Structure 1
Amino acid sequence: MSVKFRFSSIADMLQKHAQNRSDEKCLYYPKKNQSDSYASLTFKQFNEVTNHLAKRFSNIIHQKETNKNPVVCLLANSDVDYLLTIYALFKLNVVVFPLSIRNSDAAIKHLLEKSNASYLFYSKAFSSVATTFDSIINLHQMEELNISELLDYKESSFKPEIDTDEIDRICIIFHSSGTTSFPKPIRLTTRYLFGWFESFASEMDDRFWSDDDLVLLLLPLFHVAGFGTTFIMFYVGGACGLPLGDIFPPTPKQIIKSIEYTKVTKVCTVPLFLQQLLRLLKEDENNGFKMLARLRFVLSVGAACSPDICKQLTEHGVKLIIGFGSTETGFILVSCYETNNKDQWQSLRKLKGRESNLSFLPLDSDNQIYELVVNSQDPFLAPEFKSKKFYSIGDLFKEEPVGSGNYTVQGRADDILVHMSGEKTNPLPIELAIQQCPIVEHAVVLGHQRLHCSVLIELNSKETSKLEHSQIEKQILTAVENANTNAPAHSHIAPTLIKILPLDKHLPVTNKGNILRKQVYNEYHSEIEQIYEQFLNQSNFNSNHAHDNQQESWTKKNICDYLQETVAEVLHKPIENFNDHSQSLYHLSLDSLTTLQLRNKLCQKFGFLDQNIIFEYPTIDALTDQLFAIVNNQQPRQSDDPQHYQQTEEIIDKYINLMATHTNRKRQITNSDHLRKRIFLITGANGSLGSQTLLQLLNKPQVTKIYCLLRGPDAHNRLRADMELRKQDTAVLDDKTRIIILSTNFDDDQLGQTTNIYQQLQREVTDIIHSAWKMDFNLTINDFDRECLKGLYQLLKLAATS
């Protein structure tokens, strides 16, 4: 496929826009020292500022450099200075390599060496990391840019250097997770970057990205999709916007304020930010969702977006589009946005600009599961992957419905974990590091489609028999901490996300000792869910237990001292690093994982605290003032509502009294044949968990009958429809002697059944599985009682009399 590009080079693109669109805005960014409002640059200003910077950088690079195209690495926060630096370096004919600030020191060293980098440009915030590499690379600490001053300079005489083969020159490197211990550098050409726009040719009548768009970018610039979106908008002559705030990532409130900027037409983000937004949007449901619904679309990339998030957005009129691709390929698939079906986000199709070079190859004899591959002749494939006939993406798909050309993602062919943030973790080196501990037999790192990693550990029974329980825990904790050292920050495992299995439990492995991951998820599903539930809700647990919040003992000074000590402990850094109490903790490497750990520790001391307290008060000084106000009752806790406490106590008392008046008439079963047979009662069989449970039970010969209780009328048809929607086998429902489907009413003492049927349940049921539980955390206390607790009580009563 031959593609005629609009420009001959990146410098040519910026120069022509500066001439032909001189007064049109191309970039919106937070004002310096006034980060809650926007400043902007026109194409002419952007070109001129990057010319001045290129001239400045040329004095640093070329006076030492003999290599024609040296690699220049960047280590800094994603802000306007970072973006301007990248485009300025493009004009010097160098290869730019943005490094993730979440990489470990060992990973950065590996990338510097593998890319044969000549320079490391870094900001002051990362000087302690950068200076550890002064023996292997030229260092340059970047000054904070004064953009206004640069604009006041007279027009630059700088002329960009352009290669004759500029289109196919390596101009930038991004790194992916790879399949080795460290991230892998992926070298990309100017052709590849131009392909980010050309891949969307013919989409929306060539208006998927247009010159009247202002796209808000909620992705870091060291992420290929983050930088690539800026490039698309500059290519087409549109504008991009960086989120408001002093530092990336922005808080949910800053995201909303950024979106409220009336000129924003589209948003490009990862699912994590959409999840964080939902809570705030629901506070003002009428206006909150309208703000997103007015956009032309919201594009979610980088990771799978949960069905719950997608449904909530689309049901409120938000045009949600899912983009799919990789660092090696760029965008290649997109959700079926043309249809009016609100569930269109579930299916992906080939981008029209790439479809001729994409193939779905069947992996099994039934042609049900497909592997997506890219033809090596694809003009936008990264050059190092063109040596073989095909390049495999590594993800698996299913065509639904068959023959439609629409596909749903089934998972990854390899073991890479894709987090909700879009970041990826290679679990193998972490597992190997943990398994170096002599008391560890096997370890499996988990975290796919979750925000953080966790680990299940199987102990070596022989080695652990020599140790006390406290010694075992200490050795395991040390092993995990050592593994964290060489892992990127987003892959770190918190102590509360470590699960040590009992000695009689074993992880499923092959004969060669390789972990069978899918089997792990199946066998230890409940344990995995419990790990994350306890971690995410630990602070709520702590608030129900005694804590050290004694009003008279807390002064501002000892709160401040305690915060400095605790932050140092959580981040595993010397306490002296945090002497500047006015500095943002996020500048000092606090991230989402350590934020949760820090909040959990604070809740142990101060009781329940708002989930966003550290995001809203990110310095030790600000957090000290807020905590001091809370302990002195000058500032309310968000959920500290006495009326809710009173209602909760009344509900608890109600059920205690009900149970006290209930006579336990449990029968003694003596029929040994009956003991060998199991008759189940399941609630919520029309849910994803309940339907899977139903199918699993039907595979067990000892299960002779299953009662399915569903809320509301027409239970049988609703269950069938929900199973069809999940592509499950509905033929099992035809065996009406083994599956009995009943409509239920949990408010009723007999669960909405006649006396005869209820007594039949009492006689026959041996097991109850209750999965009809409302997972809506916005329910009021009384709603929770009506929707959940009442039904639980009725089932307990049934169990007690069966």
Structure 2
Amino acid sequence: MSKYSSAYSSEKLIPRIIDDIARTHPDVLYAEIPNDAHSCQAGFRKITYKDLANAINGLALWIERTLGRGLNFETLVYLGPHDLRYILMLLAAVKAGYKMLFPSSQFAIQGILALIEKAAGKALLTPVCIPPTGAAIIEASQLSHYQIPELSDLLDVEHSTYAFEKSFEQARAEPFVVLHTSGSTGFPKPITWTHDWALSFGTEISLDAPEGYETMLNALPHFRALSMYPRFHAGHIFTCLLYPVFGGTVAIYPPSERPPGAAVALETLQATQTDLVFFGPLHVTELYNDSSLLDKISQHVKRISWAGGDITDTAGDAVNSKVLLMVGLGATEMGNWPTIRSKTWDPADWHYAQFHPAMNMVMEHREASIHEAVIKRRTEGHEQPIFKIYPHSDAYATGDMFVPHPKKPDLWRYYGRADDMLVFLSGEKFHPLGVENFLSHHEKIENALVMGTGKRSSILLIKLADGTSVDSIWPIIEEMNEQCPLVARVTRDRILVARPEKPFVVTPKGTVQRRATVELYSKELDRYM
């Protein structure tokens, strides 16, 4: 059990922890949400655990009245605005005997429908105001459709208690929620967390740091955190449910009807006190591109935790000079990897992470200085979250590649995915992420993808800014080539310019879906040896 939530509850199942805190410590703060879905000017509403439990009860009662009691953890699908109802839906569904699936609204409809089919979705739930993606699914599928209560009706009305009386041993292997992969290697795949998985996550974020080190919760106990992750994203559930319940943190919500950019984050930070912001790489890049925005944000928060993709050294150095950057690592199936920092940590090492020894992470050499992170099952102490999903494995190769710090042992920098590695006809290998990032962060280049597996040398697919020609960026490509081995260097005749009718396929995190984009240009690529 987490040492932070144990001050309020000895329970292990999240619905029971929330009910227990609501009963014994009703005024403990869970979150703050804007009173206006479009602005922070009307102030924030404090949501206590009593409020949270009451709203969950109201929604669980609505689910049972509308759909009946769940018999075998049937899957319900929800699409809605970026508000508190994602968390309420998750927990109300568990209480009512169902499990939730939260598809990304940024996927193509075909991808969402394939995901719903794989997860055996029973019904689609939306707010009264149906989002465009929800309307498209209603039209394209046979799912029954129901409209859930407004958030104000769930929070402002006192609801009857909806009991959840299972013990942890009874429920530990039962589903908690269904999320999905990012879709970077094809259609998204469902990933089911169990209650046991959730408790393992809570244990990992609450680990004590070795002597001379600190974890995020050691450094900022009971921190107030603004999360800018999409509400359907695992990062949202990490930061707005699991961290509050197991870590005693307070979730700060931005206005739900505004695009979740850095400008909205600033408006939120100006309206309520916040210790930490959870950002994606696009948000950090926004700050780099707008020094005035960066200056203003630095006046209201001192730490930014970023995750979900890489950022350039130039962008990170600029932001880190004003706000301390903390790299976050992990994945939907593995959770948020527990990291530690020396109490004498050099802020200049913002791009590096040191993993908690209890994670049992081993870096296995793959190519040149590149290593793959492999999690080994522990024989003592807690069992890591990944082995709740793969219980018969003793090791899990994450597919995440890292390079070591040139001078400091145990510090590692994320380098890319194993499945991004190019293998040329000669058998030589090259990982393209570094040079792709180099190109993509140039103002004349909107996106870049280096390909070459099964070819004699690299091929560059590039999306240029309006009014830009290949000739005008050739000096940039020459500079990129200086960073590459001979086999990976790009010549003028091996450059493909992306066409408007064939845009790069991107994930909800904004990163390029490599396989889908390569398939989109397969005919063009076949012309090259």
- TM-score, scaled relative to structure 1: 0.50
Which residue number in structure 1 is paired with residue 464 of structure 2? 532
CA distance in 1, matches of 2:300, 2:288: 12
8 Å CA contact 1:196, 1:232 repeated in 2: no
Which secondary structure does the structure 2 equivalent of 1:120 belong to?
strand
**Residues 229-264 of structure 1: CA distance to partner in whole angstroms, max 9, x if unpaired?**
1121132333101113523x3343321111223421
Answering whether residue 131 of structure 2 is matched by residue 131 of structure 1, we say: no
8 Å CA contact 2:180, 2:188 repeated in 1: yes
- Read off the aligned partner of 1:235 and give its amino acid letter: F
CA distance in 2, matches of 1:167, 1:451: 47
CA distance in 2, matches of 1:508, 1:416: 9
> Highest relative contact order (Cα 8 Å, sep 6+), 1 or 2?
2
Out of 468, 482, 488, the position equivalent to 1:693 is 482
**Offset of residue 691 of structure 1:** 9.7
CA distance in 2, matches of 1:133, 1:279: 40
Out of 394, 399, 405, the position equivalent to 1:394 is 399
8 Å CA contact 1:189, 1:382 repeated in 2: no
Superposition map of 1:203-352 within 5 A? 203=209, 204=214, 207-208=217-218, 212-230=222-240, 231-244=242-255, 246-247=257-258, 249-282=259-292, 285=295, 288-293=297-302, 297-316=303-322, 318-332=323-337, 334=339, 336=341, 338-352=343-357
**Offset of residue 94 of structure 1:** 2.0
8 Å CA contact 2:2, 2:202 repeated in 1: no
Which residue number in structure 2 is paired with residue 54 of structure 1? 60
Which residue number in structure 2 is paired with residue 11 of structure 1? 15
**Residues 55-108 of structure 1: CA distance to partner in whole angstroms, max 9, x if unpaired?**
111122325x5x321112212232123332222223223222111111222112
Answering whether residue 118 of structure 2 is matched by residue 107 of structure 1, we say: no
**Offset of residue 184 of structure 1:** 0.8
CA distance in 1, matches of 2:436, 2:334: 22
Which secondary structure does the structure 1 equivalent of 2:330 belong to?
strand
Which residue number in structure 1 is paired with residue 365 of structure 2? 362
8 Å CA contact 1:93, 1:161 repeated in 2: no
8 Å CA contact 2:353, 2:413 repeated in 1: yes
**Offset of residue 375 of structure 1:** 2.4
**Residues 116-174 of structure 1: CA distance to partner in whole angstroms, max 9, x if unpaired?**
22222123124422313552x33222343324x74343x52321253542233221111
CA distance in 1, matches of 2:315, 2:433: 25
Classify 1:99/1:174 alpha carbon distance in 2 versus 1 (closer, same or farther; 3 Å): same
Which secondary structure does the structure 2 equivalent of 1:363 belong to?
strand
**Offset of residue 21 of structure 1:** 3.0
Which residue number in structure 1 is paired with residue 89 of structure 2? 85
**Residues 4-38 of structure 1: CA distance to partner in whole angstroms, max 9, x if unpaired?**
98522111110122134311221111214663232
**Offset of residue 383 of structure 1:** 3.4
Equivalent pairs counted in the alignment come to: 450
CA distance in 1, matches of 2:477, 2:338: 26
CA distance in 1, matches of 2:262, 2:327: 21
Superposition map of 1:706-717 within 5 A? none
Which secondary structure does the structure 1 equivalent of 2:318 belong to?
helix
Superposition map of 1:181-200 within 5 A? 181-200=186-205
CA distance in 1, matches of 2:160, 2:52: 12
Classify 1:507/1:199 alpha carbon distance in 2 versus 1 (closer, same or farther; 3 Å): closer
Which residue number in structure 2 is paired with residue 712 of structure 1? none
Rg larger in 1 or in 2?
1
8 Å CA contact 1:376, 1:387 repeated in 2: no
Classify 1:376/1:169 alpha carbon distance in 2 versus 1 (closer, same or farther; 3 Å): farther
**Residues 444-491 of structure 1: CA distance to partner in whole angstroms, max 9, x if unpaired?**
9999659999xxxxxxxxxxxxxxxxxxxxxxxxxxxxxxxxxxxxxx
CA distance in 1, matches of 2:62, 2:245: 23
Classify 1:403/1:253 alpha carbon distance in 2 versus 1 (closer, same or farther; 3 Å): closer
Classify 1:238/1:694 alpha carbon distance in 2 versus 1 (closer, same or farther; 3 Å): closer
Classify 1:132/1:351 alpha carbon distance in 2 versus 1 (closer, same or farther; 3 Å): farther
**Offset of residue 215 of structure 1:** 0.7
8 Å CA contact 2:75, 2:119 repeated in 1: yes
CA distance in 1, matches of 2:477, 2:292: 25
8 Å CA contact 1:211, 1:233 repeated in 2: no
**Offset of residue 379 of structure 1:** 3.2
- Read off the aligned partner of 2:364 and give its amino acid letter: L
CA distance in 1, matches of 2:243, 2:297: 28
Classify 1:416/1:89 alpha carbon distance in 2 versus 1 (closer, same or farther; 3 Å): farther
Out of 45, 51, 54, the position equivalent to 1:45 is 51
Classify 1:532/1:16 alpha carbon distance in 2 versus 1 (closer, same or farther; 3 Å): farther
Out of 401, 405, 410, the position equivalent to 1:405 is 410
- Read off the aligned partner of 1:311 and give its amino acid letter: D
Which residue number in structure 2 is paired with residue 482 of structure 1? none
Which secondary structure does the structure 2 equivalent of 1:388 belong to?
coil
8 Å CA contact 1:26, 1:41 repeated in 2: yes
Classify 1:210/1:86 alpha carbon distance in 2 versus 1 (closer, same or farther; 3 Å): farther
- The percent of aligned pairs where both chains have the same amino acid is 18
Classify 1:498/1:44 alpha carbon distance in 2 versus 1 (closer, same or farther; 3 Å): closer
Superposition map of 1:544-559 within 5 A? none
- Read off the aligned partner of 2:55 and give its amino acid letter: V
- Read off the aligned partner of 1:343 and give its amino acid letter: A
Task: Identify the structure with the greater helix proportion.
Answer: 1
**Residues 607-646 of structure 1: CA distance to partner in whole angstroms, max 9, x if unpaired?**
xxxxxxxxxxxxxxxxxxxxxxxxxxxxxxxxxxxxxxxx
- Read off the aligned partner of 1:106 and give its amino acid letter: Q
**Offset of residue 385 of structure 1:** 2.5
8 Å CA contact 2:215, 2:339 repeated in 1: no
Which secondary structure does the structure 2 equivalent of 1:414 belong to?
helix
Classify 1:42/1:404 alpha carbon distance in 2 versus 1 (closer, same or farther; 3 Å): same
Answering whether residue 31 of structure 2 is matched by residue 27 of structure 1, we say: yes
Which residue number in structure 2 is paired with residue 763 of structure 1? none
CA distance in 2, matches of 1:70, 1:694: 52
8 Å CA contact 1:321, 1:337 repeated in 2: no
CA distance in 2, matches of 1:315, 1:213: 22
Structure 1 runs not aligned, ≥5 long: 418-443, 454-493, 500-505, 542-682, 701-802
Classify 1:405/1:34 alpha carbon distance in 2 versus 1 (closer, same or farther; 3 Å): closer
Which residue number in structure 1 is paired with residue 172 of structure 2? 167
**Residues 316-363 of structure 1: CA distance to partner in whole angstroms, max 9, x if unpaired?**
2x2211011111211225474644422221222213442x3x211222
Which secondary structure does the structure 1 equivalent of 2:328 belong to?
strand
Classify 1:169/1:382 alpha carbon distance in 2 versus 1 (closer, same or farther; 3 Å): farther
8 Å CA contact 1:174, 1:185 repeated in 2: yes
**Offset of residue 180 of structure 1:** 5.8
8 Å CA contact 1:210, 1:237 repeated in 2: no
CA distance in 2, matches of 1:31, 1:344: 39
Classify 1:139/1:401 alpha carbon distance in 2 versus 1 (closer, same or farther; 3 Å): same
Which secondary structure does the structure 2 equivalent of 1:156 belong to?
coil
